[in-house]
Structures are given as structure tokens and as C-alpha cells.
Chains A and B, each alone.
Chain A
């Protein structure tokens, strides 16, 4: 069966419709009169991860649990809980998985310090290589080599003087 432009168009329209349907679930977002609360709400639902979905923030997800979590966040904000309290309440129920930005703890030290340690190790390796090459160059010459070097240098210097005399 050949793909006609008409069929392609139809497939495209279907794809767009499916996408629209998939995002429609996320429209039950809560509204606040206070812009400061609204901003905290937006920040929280963008940084808490939906436990059901593999990789969506609760503000992006149409799954029922994401809706429950948004409601919980909104209720806690109205009650006056701090952002940390709200995150902690979510972690107590759903685990560290819900935090997009892992907290600094003993078991997350490698995660946070790893890149820095990697860069330091890389710099140390580069420094070690440079130093070893410098040491190689500074190795003392034996008498024969020194003599050859001296002749080469003096010959070169002679050329230099000649060049200058042409000017």
C-alpha cells in the first residue's frame, strides 16, 4: 500500500489529536490569588517527579497520582507549610524518587561530588603528564651529546648572524 499525501495528513492529524488528549489531563492545576504562592506552587510541581510516570514532573503528568499530589501541594501551601515541609511529606510517602534534585546526604555524596572529583583527577593526570615530559626534557646529556649540541648551536648562531648582516 502506497502512502498518499492524504493518508499522511490524516496520520498527522491523528497524532496531534492524541497529543492534545494526553495533555488534557494536566488541566486541573490549582490557582492562587497570591502571586507568591502561585510561584511557589509552579516551582514545586515542576520539581516534584511523578512516581507513576518514568520521567514527568507532577505538573506535566495526567496520571491520577500526579493530580492527587498537586492537590496535596496546593492544600499544604494554603495551610502555610514551607517548601521543605512539602517536599519532605512527599519523600516520606513516595521516596527520594520524587525529588528531581537529590538532597545532599551520605548516600548521594558520590552523585554530587563525583563530577568535581572527576575534573580534579583529570587535572591531576594532565599535570602529571606535563611534569613527566618536562623531566624527560631536562635529562642530562652525556659528553658526546653535549658536544653535538654545542656544534649545532654554534652553527645555527653563525647562520643567524649572517641573516642579520644581509639587512
Chain B
């Protein structure tokens, strides 16, 4: 009666499908795999927020592991994220900001009000660098290694827990 085993095939298929679909339920639908991992930081040529006569490019990020944070004065979550970024700066992380789709006055005012953890801020009023980075909403953060390659992409807000649990281990990993 060996053919009786075939009767369990539909059950098996059901169990496998149910498991896969059940796993899918627990996934965060807003999660995206970053397209830029392992790739060089996109080329750009923009002024700094601090000085409209100083132009910087991607070579700025070579030489040390950097956390690049994309923010804007218009972005409420960025304000909530600043304490975490200040903590990271205190812990010795090299931070570079990208002031995304902002005006110079507002961007500078934001840093005066909420503190400035950044070694430097790239001023990106048109959002062109943000677009090349695949940013679809601030805040977003990238870890760039000493050779200028993107190693980690954090979409959304860095929570206080993320500082110890995610960001610092990732920074150490690429140092």
C-alpha cells in the first residue's frame, strides 16, 4: 500500500505554504533592502551648510568610518533623533550630515537649537545627493567605510536602543 503516502503530499504542501505565509506576516512591510550596500558613495559636488564657498565631494568620506545622516529642518523625526546622534558623537563616531531639501538659514537654525554632532554638513537643497543615495524620507543614515564604500543603511529614525544595539556594532564592524 505504498501509494497511500501520496495522500500526505497536499498536507505537506499546505504546511510549507502556511509556514512561509505565517513568516511573511511578521515582516515589516516598510523594510527595504538598500540598493547601495557594498557600493561606493555616489559622486557629488556640493557646498557645506557652514560655508557656501566651500565645495566638497565624495573623497571627503575616505580615510575613516563615517556615519552619514540625512536630515532636514522640516523633518520632525530628525529632531527626536538628534540626542542619539549627539551620543554617537560623544562615543567617538565620525558623523557627517546631509542637510536635505532645506534652506541654509533653517538648517543652521536647526543645528543651533538641537546641537551639532556633525564634523561637517553637506548642503543638498535640491535633494540631488539624497536622490542618488536612494533616500525616500529623512532621517536615513549610512555607514561608509574608510574606502568610501557604503556598508550599512538605516532607514528611518535611530532609536536610543539602536545606538548600542545596531549602530555602534556596525561602526566597529567596518573599522
- Could you say which interface size class chain A belongs to? 10 to 19
A91 / chain B contacts, CB cutoff of 8 Å: 35
A102 within 8 A of B: no
- Is A54 in contact with B3, judged by CB distance below 8 angstroms? no
A51 / chain B contacts, CB cutoff of 8 Å: 32, 134, 136
Chain B residue total in the interface (Cβ 8 A) = 19
Q: How far is the CA of A128 from the CA of B131 in the complex (A)?
A: 55
Given the contacts A68-B127, A68-B131, A132 and B35 also touching, CB distance less than 8 Å:
no
- Is B32 in contact with A54, judged by CB distance below 8 angstroms? no
B50 within 8 A of A: no
Identify B32's interface contact among A63, A68, A97, CB under 8 A: A97
Minimum CB–CB distance from B42 to chain A (whole Å) comes to 8
- Residues 1-59 (chain A) with a chain B CB within 8 angstroms: 50-52, 54
- Is B32 in contact with A94, judged by CB distance below 8 angstroms? yes
Q: How far is the CA of A72 from the CA of B126 in the complex (A)?
A: 12
Identify B136's interface contact among A72, A92, A94, A96, CB under 8 A: A94
CB-nearest residue of chain B relative to A128? Answer: B6
B113 within 8 A of A: no
A64 / chain B contacts, CB cutoff of 8 Å: 101
- Is B30 in contact with A54, judged by CB distance below 8 angstroms? yes
- Is A52 in contact with B137, judged by CB distance below 8 angstroms? yes
B33 within 8 A of A: yes
- Is B32 in contact with A93, judged by CB distance below 8 angstroms? no
CB-nearest residue of chain A relative to B127? Answer: A68
Q: Which residues of B contact A (CB under 8 A)?
A: 3, 6, 9, 29-30, 32-36, 101, 127, 131-137
* 6 closest cross-chain pairs (CB), A and B: A95-B35, A93-B134, A51-B136, A65-B136, A52-B136, A94-B134
Instruction: Other than A50-B136, A65-B136, A96-B35, give 6 A-B pairs with Cβ distance below 8 A.
Output: A52-B137, A63-B137, A93-B134, A95-B35, A96-B33, A128-B6
5 A-B residue pairs with Cβ-Cβ distance under 8 Å, sorted by A, are A68-B131, A91-B35, A94-B35, A94-B136, A95-B134
